[in-house]
Structure 1
């Protein structure tokens, strides 16, 4: 049966790799293709859905349509991929271009028109198939740094147009744009005892195993003595010829005595699946140490199509007379492979290091609803909120409600309810999360003195009140000044507690576009929008926070349009 599974799995992979057009698409840039991030990399709360192409730490490079098609979607967001363009191609695929500085030509014209029609910076447009046609190699935008990017680059994706699943760009011939002869690297191997009867190297806790590099480039781990159900995890990464940076792995396949045990391959996945990254990794270790350890087993199965487990979900049951060899193969898309051999022996030696579990009177069962109440607070976990059962730390002290900590991965949102008193009982009150003594806003509903919020963040909660309006400032006052030589007006907008919900700008009574940059908390108006008047101009900006506090900034300046 295992051989049949391996045969079917191998056939599927080979078919998948040969079923995509290799020469249909061109590069979206005309500079050397160097990756800042590859497909499937582990990111906070998601897998990376495409390639990040370096743009030499600069903005303004031409972005080209990778093939003929039409612009099917344009999304402008303050976070995420920022300014993003989607092109549907006649062969059934969609290309996506993110973190753009601006569109070009008819695309930018439509973007500006929609901004002013909707009087909003954040917009989403779905042009008709014949509205904006593009040809292969046509300039559609300029590269930028908008959204949640950490520096100038191009985020690029391929998607199946119908299913919207993202697909590894390597399948479309993008492997030919870059050279890679280096093997993936492994930095640590971890072994986990998976139930109360399991022991690994005399420990009931996870153990880091020493690795020895062999002359032929393979690795051999120290011998593992164990009993019961165990699983493995790796901290590993890929490298490229052009960079010493660390990249995500393309493929991991494990074998037990030569038979496939657990596989992971980043070919394609849906956005609905990507939240399961927190079950895919050792979430506890990541929160504690920031180490990204990929688990090579599933204690409780979850729906993630990149995984290819055996009938034991990668879990190894070490029993009497058990002496086996476990092997891990780490591969990149180019076929460069690193092998790790792990000898496992059965041992009856008892554990000297015990489990680190704090038992409480609150126990959460992942597959059933759970509701806990105390004093003025309660929490409701619908079935499926978590991946595993665990003892919950739940307490209410001095109006602060503790709902465990952020070391447990959360699958779906849960409900937090708090009852307000005379001090916290109005529309300025909300449920705040507490982290490192700082409060952060949760979208809160109020019914009389009862406040509720849905969240995916465990930790501490408290009722908070925000009565302080946002702040608006300008680096250099422009009151009464001539701004003929300036191309923009830029303001800083901030809110200390509940956060900014909206902002609006007006020039001589007309709404104007201010582009928001979350990394600098700034808004910028470009005079080439054509709203500024010759002579005197009255500027008004209003900023509102999440509980309704508002601030108005007004000033007056002069400008001539004559050159």
Structure 2
């Protein structure tokens, strides 16, 4: 079977997983803030390696706004984490849904008391609790917490979700009747055309090309001096943003449709998804454009390894097979949740003479990896496994080894960093120099990015090889981490140049393997220190300490390779 026939067979037989029509209860849930709903992030919005699982509600760049229960229920989960949702509450409702409130500043007094008692009992900041249904019952509109900036945020806001209690799938909260004032249609910024490798030609090449949108006298067109010319199997994608009244944020769109010669070929909308599939955002979008060009190109065609359920109930895969000599009208329709839409039409001219153009040469020695079949590579200094299901489309794998005295091993270029990976690959590297047994626990695999930036990948010894499981291709090598973390005083109440109130703050950092754990004592007893990775600061509340006396403080920080720093000081409070 030819490659072209195989591709056609795959996509003829691949049926899109239809999302069953479902009526969600409108009017049951109310807004969690007593302010106009100004979106700072939309449901299903494209984020690095994941879809956004809720809506972000603006709080005017301030903290401390009352957060209210969106419906009757009980607090079923309380989670405190340094990253992610930070301080978060989950409320289970009797109608089969769970609402989620993230990045909170603090909870109400009864919940705060339980959290604090648990933190002191377990002697750790990050905890997760599952109260019983009778412990914290709440009424619709009751204040349950206050908005904040905890966890993985770029500014104060409230993250709000509604999940299916049974499947735990997040659902677009706007489907439940929450109203957002929005009269602004989305804007298409770029269109990208993809010839399928070894099956399509675009402008005499089988490489994808991005065309920038340009406006002249209110008319939009693609920034190209000629019509787009193609032959064979072609896909299309686009970059679009949405705006909302009163919001300055660039938002994600809700839905898209693509028509070819007035026939719908592809559609999707962001109603719900499953967390296990969220990394497939890298199949829904063009990974290369995000990594290399910082553009979010959403595909109007489905890769073989893309099993997201957000696509329309159609057998169409979105690929176009242009084998004639004709012009084809392409229409892209993008919408926000309120129905504001932008329609853009452009032509692709199909020329059969382009079939004579050569495809890119397959690199010598490369191995074909597909979504249905991975590979294993065994070399003198490298052990590699790319498991089945790791890649979304066919790729040609290759690796190189380069000696480098800056590392304890050669530097291995593994695959193409512009190819996305859905599940971890296994990278085992053999050191090029003898590492004493006493130092083997300090060794780790690192990835080497642009401008030599080092990122830790960890690793465990398996015989002579140190093996890590990164979720990306790229350059990898081995280093030793024998340097303990750094702890520096940020603020104590006796500081005369600032006044932050009754708190103590220290700044912690690690230059290689990363912070693994931290703890602190005041007056010789364990004391709660809250960690904010965004600022690298540990903060301790002093309101429970006796005043007008000197207090000894001790902070212990350990990195991922077991190196520990113990910082000891005193302050007057």
Query: TM-score of the superposition, structure 1-length normalised?
Result: 0.90
- Quote the residue 1:395 is aligned against: 400
Shift of 1:245: 3.4
Shift of 1:338: 1.7
SS in 1 for 2:276: coil
For residues 414 and 167 of structure 1, the distance between their equivalents in structure 2, rounded to whole angstroms, comes to 31
- Quote the residue 1:546 is aligned against: 560
- Residue 415 of structure 1, aligned match among 404, 410, 426: 426
- Quote the residue 1:5 is aligned against: none
SS in 2 for 1:108: helix
CA contact (8 A) 2:75 2:90 kept: yes
CA contact (8 A) 1:85 1:98 kept: yes
- Quote the residue 1:147 is aligned against: 151
CA distances 1:88-147 after superposition (whole Å, capped 9, x unpaired): 111111111111111112111111111112111111111111111111111111111111
Q: How does 1:47-446 map to 2 (within 5 A)?
A: 47-174=51-178, 176=179, 178-209=180-211, 223-308=227-312, 310-320=314-324, 323-350=327-354, 359-366=363-370, 367-398=372-403, 399-420=410-431, 421-423=433-435, 425=437, 426-435=440-449, 436-446=451-461
Shift of 1:158: 0.8
Shift of 1:155: 0.8
2:480 corresponds to 1:472: no
CA contact (8 A) 2:99 2:163 kept: yes
CA distances 1:384-443 after superposition (whole Å, capped 9, x unpaired): 111122222312222222213421100110111122342365211111222232332223
For residues 290 and 351 of structure 1, the distance between their equivalents in structure 2, rounded to whole angstroms, comes to 32
**Change in 2 beyond 3 A, CA 1:195/1:310:** farther
Compute the RMSD of aligned alpha carbons. 2.9
**Change in 2 beyond 3 A, CA 1:211/1:516:** closer
For residues 424 and 301 of structure 2, the distance between their equivalents in structure 1, rounded to whole angstroms, comes to 25
**Change in 2 beyond 3 A, CA 1:532/1:408:** farther
CA distances 1:147-177 after superposition (whole Å, capped 9, x unpaired): 1100111111111111111111111111x2x
CA distances 1:453-510 after superposition (whole Å, capped 9, x unpaired): 11112211111111111111113577999x9994111111111111111011112332
SS in 2 for 1:391: strand
For residues 55 and 127 of structure 2, the distance between their equivalents in structure 1, rounded to whole angstroms, comes to 24
Bigger Cα displacement from structure 2, 41-50 vs 428-437 = 428-437
Shift of 1:73: 0.7
SS in 1 for 2:249: strand
CA distances 1:343-376 after superposition (whole Å, capped 9, x unpaired): 3443123379865566141313122231223332
SS in 2 for 1:407: coil
Bigger Cα displacement from structure 2, 512-521 vs 537-546 = 537-546
- Residue 48 of structure 2, aligned match among 36, 39, 44: 44
For residues 111 and 499 of structure 1, the distance between their equivalents in structure 2, rounded to whole angstroms, comes to 27
- Structure 2: gaps spanning 5 or more residues: 1-15, 404-409
- Quote the residue 2:3 is aligned against: none
CA contact (8 A) 2:493 2:500 kept: no
**Change in 2 beyond 3 A, CA 1:224/1:21:** same
- Structure 1: gaps spanning 5 or more residues: 1-8
For residues 453 and 331 of structure 2, the distance between their equivalents in structure 1, rounded to whole angstroms, comes to 46
Shift of 1:331: 1.5
**Change in 2 beyond 3 A, CA 1:500/1:308:** same
2:448 corresponds to 1:450: no
2:509 corresponds to 1:488: no
CA contact (8 A) 2:41 2:249 kept: no
Query: TM-score of the superposition, structure 2-length normalised?
Result: 0.88
**Change in 2 beyond 3 A, CA 1:503/1:301:** closer
Shift of 1:70: 0.5
Bigger Cα displacement from structure 2, 442-451 vs 220-229 = 220-229
**Change in 2 beyond 3 A, CA 1:351/1:258:** closer
**Change in 2 beyond 3 A, CA 1:12/1:392:** closer
